[in-house]
Structure 1
Amino acid sequence: MVGLHIIQNSPAKLALNSTLKSSLRQAVTGGGTTGSFGAPTERDDKRHAITTDTLDTYALERWEASIQTILHYMVSSGHGQLPTKPSQGVLYLLQRSELMKSVHGSPLQITSSGFQFLLHSPHDQLWSLLLQYLHMAEERQMDLVEVLSFLFMLSTMELGREYSTDPLSETQKAMLEDLRDYGLVWQRKASSKRFSPTRLATTLTSLSPPLPTSSTTRTAQAGSGSVALTTGAGQQGFIVLETNYRVYAYTDNPLEIAVLNLFVTMKYRFPNLAVGMLTRESVRKALSNGISADQIISYLTTHAHPQMRKNNPLLPVTVQDQIRLWELERNRLKSAEGFLYKDFASQADYEYVLSYAKQIGVVLWENAMKRAFFGTLDGHANIRAFIERRTGGG
């Protein structure tokens, strides 16, 4: 904090930096023209004032419309039939964050990090995307300080109030369009001079849930109809796993079924039930895409049906062990590019070069009987130079 000039460097007392102190007091009391907590506005016609229920409805619809499109694309690895495809900007973000990757020009495939992203809560998923948005800010010639300032400003705003766009910089006005797509801010129309933060934005820096919880179903008036705000079966748990490796998924959510299809061989589909099997082939397919055995077990545990949670242990031990054995079976052999060093003139020469290679941490395999060892590709230049120095350039 001393290095950031937040507190003064004094051994006798702990005090805020004087400049920070005055700026903080000004921000908290609403003084000055910086608008640290936004510039609230009031409508003359109270009938058009926004309500928190309307904001929750809007946030849920926009978040699900954006994140569900992203998740559907990820689990289908770019091959699935989707009603809408993510924009090029979103696809670029997925690649930059290494949630998906292309190998040798192949279509984008979900990675281990991408599957872990599926397991996260909406709050964690949102921050993962926002952090990547920060990394990309400078590429888009956006002021990183203003981007951070606006995100923290949103988190301190009051839910249900409207704020003016006049004090915002050009960078922050550009951010409004991006954040509106994800449901973090609401505007009556794109050219409006007012905006309201949704619950997704006001809970960025708090432990409060970013969307209405699954334990309560809130109904908000949206135009002439009503919208039920629920978060789907996944929050309650919908998977039943039997000791014979059969999986029952009590859901009609296409995304949840698509995620299961990454490591389960689906057999039957009914209106509210999908049945499949955990097989060696299906698990090995998931492992080849970078999904680990622990991630598969974690997903099954996280989304276990309430009836399953009465079991101890929750998942059958035999099934957990078999999934891990399938992973070990695949990982028996590992390949690595490098160089083989052999034909040393003496045991002393071999041990001397081997000792140097171990010091720089590039030895992958060694055999003292054959006076040979295998080093990494990156370490070859150093080892070669070391040998040439020892042999006088011979």
Structure 2
Amino acid sequence: MPSAHPDNVDDKTLALIANRPHALLPFLQLQSATSLSRLYQSPSSCLSIFRLLDAVERQLTMNLLWLDSAISLSTMGAWIVQEKKKMYDEALDMLSRLHILHVQAGKLSLNATFKASLRHAITGGGTTGSFGVPAERDEKRPPMGIEGLDGYALERWETILHFMVSSGTGQNPTRPSQGVLYLLQRSGLMSNNHGSVPQITSTGFQFLLHPPHAQLWDLLLQYLHMAEERQMDLVEVLTFFFMLSTMELGKEYLTENLSQTQKAMLDDLRDYGLIWQRKASSRRFSPTRLATTLTSSSPSLPTSVGASSSQQGFIVLETNYRVYAYTDNPLQTAVLNLFVSLKYRFPNLVVGSITRDSVRRALNNGISAEQIISYLVTHAHPQMRKFNPLIPVTVQDQIRLWELEKERLKSEEGYLYTAFASQADYEFVLNYAKQLDVVLWENTAKRCFFGSIEGHSNIRNFIERRTSGAD
């Protein structure tokens, strides 16, 4: 499965990535205080959001969690060294915008609802069912094991990605559900502008470069944006996502405690591979690794299944544009087919070439030259990493030149007008065409010009009237 590998970025870039807020936090900041207060009534939601905060924000939250009264800003500020003051201020701002922290009359305090729920999540107890209601073990129908759940999640997720890269290429991959297709198009990852069959977009190709965890949240954020138009309670949708993220992998949970909105979500989440059920009407479900790692830093998919090539890199690129891909993963092969002309396929090796036609095909699908180069860098074989630059400069430059060539040339249908009897006739007809604003190109020295299809009938009639008048 395509995924970014940390070996391809320097320490500074890794630090920036680590300090970047989770994709869900900006969405939560846009919600009203009332909605967040409802969300914070769930201990599992508070624990999940706490996991998404960065280290400084978590530290501030824990410092205030067990205090029974507010603390002054000056007291809290005394704990901060001057060179880290900016980080401290940014953390206060983030917590305030999430309505986790209240700053009033020079004092800091946690949101009372958030404080009570997070305390409950940490200390345990209660019968709210916030972390799901485990089902009693049925010896006749034992739950699916972790290995089976991993295989199911991987199959569902790769079905979505494989359809994205294979649509419009003449292949016939397994088609995801209609709900998944709608979500892909609403997310801008696929488009059917070129016909009835959706095709991957430039945004979709960039999506393939992200690790599975980021890919999943890209789709779930779009799902959250669509909740209102589907008349779903957004707070209940978020609560269910957070509940899933705190469940235990390999266990079964009951559906009886779920709201109507959350029960309706089960159909969608099966399609994405987040949950497994024996059948749609089952009163039990099991979260997969995709669900249980939603708010953690653990891998979203099993690392033991086909992961070696994606982790270590599998592409060797030569200066003659020849590509050797050491993989037997159909998804990785399908991604390469977007911009590489594949020649041979062996059990664990795919051979092809980067050509002008293959790159132009990718460009026509909205994939940029930089995205192609980025993919080659991200998945370069360990042997390639011994070279600097990692990708041959001649290949990089040529891919960029092919893109510039596409941007420089523009084809348009029309008519060429030539063989005028005199310069005066040429200029007379040309001026008329210019008044209609239909001239696309002209060459005075050769007495010819090119006009658009829309203006042809008017120009032809004008020439016929002038010819008949001359006769």
What is the TM-score when the length of structure 2 is the normalising length? 0.61
CA distance in 2, matches of 1:317, 1:271: 30
The percentage of aligned residue pairs carrying the same residue is 73
Q: SS state of the match for residue 108, structure 2?
A: coil
Q: More helix by proportion, 1 or 2?
A: 2
2:299 to 206, 209, 216: 209
Deviations 1:64-113 (A, max 9, x none): 33232222322223453325222222221121111111226453221101
2:191 to 76, 94, 101: 101
Q: Does 1:58 align with 2:149?
A: yes
Change (3 A) 1:308 1:20: closer
2:163 to 70, 73, 80: 73
The match for 2:200 is 110
How do 1:22-61 and structure 2 match up within 5 A? Answer: 22-30=116-124, 34-43=128-137, 50=143, 54-59=145-150, 61=151
Provide the alpha-carbon RMSD of the alignment: 2.7
Structure 2 residue runs without a partner (length 5+): 1-94, 412-471
The match for 1:242 is 318
Deviations 1:110-159 (A, max 9, x none): 11011111222211221122112212222322111100011011112233
2:111 to 11, 17, 33: 17
CA distance in 1, matches of 2:214, 2:112: 36
Deviations 1:341-386 (A, max 9, x none): xxxxxxxxxxxxxxxxxxxxxxxxxxxxxxxxxxxxxxxxxxxxxx
Deviations 1:43-69 (A, max 9, x none): 375x96647xx224323x223332322
Say if 1:247 and 1:276, in contact at 8 Å, map to a contact too.
yes
CA distance in 2, matches of 1:3, 1:104: 42
Paired letter, 1:62: Y
Q: SS state of the match for residue 163, structure 2?
A: helix
How do 1:1-394 and structure 2 match up within 5 A? Answer: 1-2=95-96, 5-30=99-124, 34-43=128-137, 50=143, 54-59=145-150, 61-82=151-172, 84-103=174-193, 105=195, 107-213=197-303, 217=304, 229-231=305-307, 233-332=309-408
Deviations 1:274-294 (A, max 9, x none): 221112222122112211111
Change (3 A) 1:79 1:324: closer
Structure 1 residue runs without a partner (length 5+): 218-228, 336-394
CA distance in 2, matches of 1:29, 1:334: 66
Paired letter, 1:145: V
Paired letter, 2:112: S
Q: SS state of the match for residue 9, structure 1?
A: strand
Q: SS state of the match for residue 408, structure 2?
A: coil
Say if 2:153 and 2:301, in contact at 8 Å, map to a contact too.
no
Change (3 A) 1:312 1:259: same
CA distance in 2, matches of 1:315, 1:142: 48
Say if 2:162 and 2:173, in contact at 8 Å, map to a contact too.
no
More relative contact order, 1 or 2 (CA 8 Å, 6+ apart): 2
Deviations 1:325-345 (A, max 9, x none): 22223233689xxxxxxxxxx
Q: SS state of the match for residue 273, structure 2?
A: coil
Paired letter, 1:184: L
What is the TM-score when the length of structure 1 is the normalising length? 0.72
**Bigger Cα Rg:** 2
